[in-house]
Structure 1
Amino acid sequence: MNVKEITALIVDRLEDYREDILDQWNNPQGTHTRHFVIDGLLPEEIARAIYAAYPRNADGFLDQQSFREKKKTLANLADRPQILREITYAMQSTEVVGKVAELLGVASIVPDPSLYAGGLSMMFKENFLNPHIDNSHDGGRGLYRRLNLLYYVTPDWKLENGGNFELWDSKVKKQKTIVSKFNRLVVMETNRDSWHSVSKVVVETPRCCVSNYYFSKISPDDDDYFHVTSFSGRPEEPGKRLLGVVDNHFRNTISKVLQVRRGKALDGNEKD
């Protein structure tokens, strides 16, 4: 199985779900954030092979730990099993990007070969990702972040495992849970109000995900803006909410003043 073959399978699956995707996207349930979910994205044997290619101990992954999040991520795919590169490149392919753009009516979107904030992620017991809105732009600040694509590959993942995707209302008080189910693709819009998170993992099994982002020169709401990834706490965490306000303001100010830019290429090299 190569990139072209995986690409064709994804495009066909998206086309098969055309009407369902449009219905989900245009009529979001339990949240204001537009999104859609597809189960069984790839043949099961391919999805299981992708999961099997993840290291069980997250060897070589970046360990991110703060009040904001606790997870392990990787953008350097150079020395990883070929199938991990293939699924990532497939999601970045012209055919898949074009099909998503066509279905959702999002004009002029482009993939992110730098894997800025994208790539592979693993979340182990006690790992989490607090409610947040994504960085508004790519690493060079030339493109707006428009779509977030999350492909989950841990077999037999259940609601009670935790580690599930959550979409929040604009005040981060009510959330919709989407189980990080095996072989499930979740696509969501990203804008100034698309709060989302991952609940704490409560099992030893790692929750594995392939993440990709699509960008556009056009702002999601036709209004120019910029912000860093901005975090809050859950409703029962007033301390983290207050800390998030201070932390977000500080990082936004620093980023604007210093014009911070960052990103990682698929080979792991830093680039401007």
Structure 2
Amino acid sequence: MTIKEISEYIYQQLKLNKEVLSKQYFLSKPTIGYFYLDNVLPNEIALKCAELFPDKSNMRLLKSIRENKYVSAQMNKHHSILETVLYAFQDPKVVNAVNEICGLKSLQPDTSLYAGGLSLMKEKQFLNPHLDNSHDAERQLWRALNLLYYVTPNWETNNGGHLELWPNGTKKEPIVIESKFNRLVVMATHQKSWHSVSPVLLDKNRCCISNYYFSEVPLLKDDIFHVTTYKGRPEEPVKDIVLTFDAKLRMLVRKFFKKGVKKNPHIYKKDN
């Protein structure tokens, strides 16, 4: 299938379920707006994505007390079907459908895949509660929505590796959205949208294809610039103190270096 064929399929799924998805988003909007949709793509396409997902040896490891996962934005190094599916979510019809579901305007996809692309998490890997960086790489547009498409077949509840939303802060219980096969999750990103990925609990890869949509205005009127900010989980009080200090230090650096000390390497460097 071509990008246009896949994007048309996604569009029709969103259109068919628009009422339910919009209700889900607006009920959750006062804290962290989100919706999720299953069976987003034909099963054979989703299975192909899983089968042809790159091995971790062909991805970049991000490992610290904040996170532990493999990522890649250099899509031309991987099978073309993965790039086709990823950019199908950036088709104008799909973007407009998501716009309408969330009651937003003028969302813009990110062709450079700044912090988007592919991610893989194996046993014991995790992503601590965090707020995404508020802006794009050039600090011109506000990050607005995160689109997560899961492609690992037969991913079950007791596998771990699930998306967690913390609408009442990281001291309370999170909302858990399972990383089910062929599921799309769309969530708002702003200064209150704390989210995480629980540790993977078995020897199996949890694979995800992700996109971000950006906007000229923030989702929250009082939102301010912030770097990616991490916190400890409720059972990690010492780690929480360290990560809070880490975030304050990195924010201090950004007061003097608007775009950071060094350029984030996680972008798609396309051939001329």
TM-score (norm 2): 0.94
Secondary structure (helix, strand or coil) at the match of 1:78 reads helix
* CA displacement, residues 145-180 of structure 1 (integer Å, 9 cap, x when unaligned): 000000000000011000000001342122011110
- The residue aligned with 1:127 is 125
Q: Structure 2 CA distance, aligned partners of 1:134 and 1:19?
A: 28
- The residue aligned with 1:73 is 71
Alignment coverage as a number of residue pairs: 267
- The residue aligned with 1:230 is 229
Secondary structure (helix, strand or coil) at the match of 1:145 reads strand
Q: Does the CA contact (< 8 Å) of 1:132 and 1:231 recur in 2?
A: yes
> CA shift at 1:106, angstroms?
0.9
- Letter paired with 1:181: K
Q: Structure 2 CA distance, aligned partners of 1:75 and 1:268?
A: 10
Q: Structure 1 CA distance, aligned partners of 2:142 and 2:255?
A: 16
Match of 1:266 among 256, 265, 268: 268
> CA shift at 1:79, angstroms?
2.2
Q: Does the CA contact (< 8 Å) of 1:162 and 1:201 recur in 2?
A: yes
Task: Map 1:90-109; keep pairs closer than 5 Å.
Answer: 90-109=88-107
TM-score (norm 1): 0.94
Q: Structure 2 CA distance, aligned partners of 1:206 and 1:45?
A: 19
- The residue aligned with 2:179 is 180
Decide whether aligned partners of structure 1 residues 213 and 59 sit closer, same or farther in structure 2, where only a CA change above 3 A counts: same
RMSD: 1.5
- The residue aligned with 2:46 is 47
Structure 2 gap ranges (5+): none
Task: Map 1:101-250; keep pairs closer than 5 Å.
Answer: 101-173=99-171, 174-223=173-222, 225-250=224-249
- The residue aligned with 1:28 is 28
Q: Bigger CA drift: 8-17 or 249-258?
A: 249-258
- The residue aligned with 1:2 is 2
Q: Structure 1 CA distance, aligned partners of 2:34 and 2:231?
A: 21
> CA shift at 1:268, angstroms?
5.8
> CA shift at 1:267, angstroms?
3.3
Structure 1 gap ranges (5+): none
- Letter paired with 1:15: K
Any runs of at least 4 consecutive aligned residues in structure 1 with deviations exceeding 6 A, and if so which? none
- Letter paired with 1:214: Y
Decide whether aligned partners of structure 1 residues 123 and 243 sit closer, same or farther in structure 2, where only a CA change above 3 A counts: same
